[in-house]
Amino acid sequence: MTQRKIIHVDCDCFYAAIEMRDDPRLAGKPLAVGGSAERRGVIATCNYEARAYGVRSAMSSRHAVKLCPDLTIVKPRMDAYKEASREIQGIFREYTDLIEPLSLDEAYLDVSDCPHFSGSATRIAQDIRRKVSKRLHITVSAGVAPNKFLAKIASDWRKPDGLFVITPAQIEDFVAALPVTKLHGVGKVTADKLARLGIDSCLELREWTKLALVREFGSFGERLYSLARGIDERVVQNDSRRQSISVENTYEADLPDLASCLGKLPELMQTLAERIGRIDSSYRPGKPFVKVKFHDFTQTTLEQAGAGRDLESYQQLLGQAFARGGKPVRLLGIGVRLLDLRGAHEQLELFNDG
């Protein structure tokens, strides 16, 4: 079996990088992209100067300004970011068609069969970074490894503007020293449980049998057993299709009760209907869902198979979702899950046409 060669490419503070590129006056100053602090906005991303003050993505803009009074916050320009993302994807396609985008600024590439540079994944990654820098005037970091799990860790190892390579011969020692918090799928709850069991590193995790880990963590225990040994068999999937379509809105003032939330539904439904009208015939709208984020940033999502997509159905869903918190609401979202009508053969044709 041929050794897989995976590259994980991650743009450095992507939105902020595009803003600094397009307006050089912003460079070198603490900068964030997001909503206004006066309008209850949230930070989407920020540059490294802002991160030095503790500013982070998903933080409220108001709190970010408290941490960094000199912070400049600019509104997102999604069209500019999508255009840059398309250009970067075009560079990827110069080397391989096996591309799995995770977001606008991040993707896995399988270059196992790429003929460029005599098949050297390291040199391919170097060339991708060079081309992005030259053509788009932003930087990307890259990780090269035999699987997705390690490639993603490697891309973060020398950020920003870095390249890190983990060869097959290095996996054993590299993974042994990894904190378990670096493992794919290990969130705060699992990390806390591992810590209580005295497991802080992958070397310590290796002392546990697969059966013992399954007893403690269910099916995820098997995954932990593999990751602690640097094993990840997930393939790069280039057939990613839309799972849902939705619309959401963050309100300047909290919606105090259910009635005020219900009053926002018609406007949200009109926007959703316009978006559904733009999808192609390879999708069929499925079950509806609603998303409610309360004033304390807790949130809930509720969906129902068999329900209609009319106003009454969304009203019922929203009523049930609101009851889960019963608190003032800062964000409302509605949407539908999408049924993909294309078969695997048609999916291949779709991507080969591109």
pLDDT tens digit string along 58-90?
899 999 999 999 999 999 999 999 999 999 998
CATH class of 244-345: alpha beta
Q: Which fold has domain 15-76?
A: MutS, DNA mismatch repair protein, domain I (3.40.1170)
Sheet containing 299-303, strands listed edge to edge, beginning at the edge strand earlier in sequence:
244-255, 329-340, 283-294, 299-303
Higher pLDDT, 58 or 31: 31
pLDDT tens digit string along 175-221?
999 999 999 888 888 999 999 999 999 999 999 999 999 999 888 89
Pairing of strands 6-11, 140-145: antiparallel
CATH fold match for the domains 6-14+79-168 and 244-345: no
Q: Where are the domains of the chain?
A: 6-14+79-168, 15-76, 171-227, 244-345
10 is in an annotated binding site: yes
110 is in an annotated binding site: no
Per CATH, the number for 171-227 is: 1.10.150.20
Instruction: Pick the catalytic residue from 19, 49, 100, 106.
Output: 106
CATH class of 6-14+79-168: alpha beta
pTM above 0.75, yes or no: no
User: Is 106 assigned a catalytic role?
Assistant: yes
178-205 burial string, b = 16+ CB within 10 Å, else e? Answer: bebebbeebeeebbeebeebebebbeeb
